[in-house]
A = this chain, B = another copy of it.
Amino acid sequence: MQTTFTLNPFDLPKRWYNVLPDLPTPLDPPLHPGTREPLEPEALSGLFARECVRQEMSSDRWIDIPAPVLEAYRRWRPTPLVRAVHLERALETPAHIYFKYEGASPTGSHKTNTAVPQAYYNKLDGTRALATETGAGQWGSALSFACQLFGMDCTVFMVRSSFDQKPYRKAMMKLFGARVHASPSTETQAGRDALARDPETSGSLGLAISEAVEAALSGQGTKYSLGSVLNHVLLHQTVIGLEAELQMQEAGEAPDEIIACVGGGSNFGGLVLPFYRAARESRRPTRFVAVEPSVCPSLTKGEFRYDFGDMAKTTPLLRMHTLGHDYMPPPIHAGGLRYHGMAPIVSRLVADGVVEPVAYDQLCVFESAVLFARAEGIVPAPETAHAVHAAIESARECARAGTQKTILIGFSGHGHFDMGAYAAYLSGELENARTSAVQAGGPLAGARLYC
């Protein structure tokens, strides 16, 4: 039985899929942080490459992937789709479980899919350097790699908790020539303010974004680059889902459930949006499950409203699910999921009942990750492990109910830089983080912590 579907290299998609014209409800416009008026595209051009701004608001359903980006994609794409037969056997489930494996990219995750076009479009604009933030380090590594590819400087503000937990991610960014600061840093006003408030803070993505935006606005020829949340980022990631559609056809199956983790939403959107389009056209019922950590439950417990993308309130306001721009999640190992907000596209689809969110605790997520690694021989990143856990729960339910189902997991990245977390889990030292908000009767009190 064939279990790996690689696609012919020449079947690499030549266009990204833009979901904006196909959404059930149009997105609310981003608002200017000062005036709170709908934002003109020019206002974004100070921060982002021109083509990224154009894509952010485009109504074209298909957008061509530029030749130099395709050439770079060919270094690791198409990525394999794998039927997890060993996991199925271990679970004794009638479900068919597939995973789309993004771990073999140069930096080990899906993030390079958007890092490369963002660096390329900036290069076209004559940008000299990019500044960004990173949670777990996957986005920072990816952008460092992409900047290296096009000969640009790169500065990364890495959330303090990950900076301390993942020294090897930091080393990888430096290897690709980037400058890396622990965030909050003393490099920016936003960082200095945060350190003044709490010198011991473990940081957050929202704060690191503030620092990167400030560094971009104050740097010569420097622009800002965001690894998730925005429409153009999800657009670039659709290469994942477009490939997976072809590969599922090759496998002769159609997914009943597509499960991916959500931090900012780009990995989820990248896999799900092309399938959403196909399901919409064929009216085939498909469940789209977004998995988040129970301690940063923006979709399951946040409000759907306008909020800032960053802590210092320097970014445009986006209508999205949010825990509040000053929310500080505890330092769980899935650093890439520690974001207070969510991609407006994903938020919209949740609000419209298309996407189902679910939240899980760290400990049960690692338990499933170990089960997956032992069965399939591939170690999931802690972020990816959230999707793996949800899929395993679903496959177990199939076993209990005796129903067949085809499940597709978005396998966003490998966990080679997270072995410290696995070592802690295996030695029984890992604990479920609890937010002070949950513990102290804050806004999350009563949040159900699934396991």
Contact = CB atoms under 8 A, between A and B. Distances in A.
A370 interface: yes
Count the copies. Answer: 2
Which of A74, A167, A419, A422 lies at the interface centre, i.e. has the most chain B CB atoms within 10 A of its CB? Answer: A419
A432 interface: no
Interface in A389-430: 416-417, 419-420, 422-423, 426
Contacts of A145: 377
Interface string A423-444: 1001000000000000000000
Nearest to A421: B171
Contacts of A426: 171, 174-175
A86 to B, nearest CB: 8
A443 B270 CA distance: 60
A91 B145 CA distance: 19
Contacts of A417: 416, 419
B420 A379 contact: no
A145 B375 CA distance: 9
Nearest to A106: B377
A45 interface: no
Which of A106, A148, A175, A420 lies at the interface centre, i.e. has the most chain B CB atoms within 10 A of its CB? Answer: A175
Given A171-B422, A370-B175, A6 B9 contact: yes
A450 interface: no
Interface residues of A, number: 40
Given A4-B75, A75-B4, A374 B419 contact: no
A82 B9 CA distance: 13
A104 B149 CA distance: 21
Contact of A3 (B74, B171, B174): B74
A378 interface: yes
Contacts of A416: 108, 168, 416-417
A140 to B, nearest CB: 14
Interface in A247-303: none
A172 interface: yes
A165 to B, nearest CB: 12
Contact of A377 (B149, B170, B379, B419): B149
A260 to B, nearest CB: 21
A9 B2 CA distance: 9
Contacts of A167: 419-420, 423
A374 to B, nearest CB: 5
A176 interface: yes
Given A3-B74, A171-B426, A174-B422, 10 more contacts: A75-B82, A86-B149, A148-B374, A149-B377, A167-B419, A167-B420, A171-B420, A171-B423, A175-B374, A175-B419
11 contacts: A3-B75, A6-B6, A86-B149, A107-B377, A148-B374, A167-B420, A172-B379, A175-B379, A176-B377, A416-B416, A417-B419
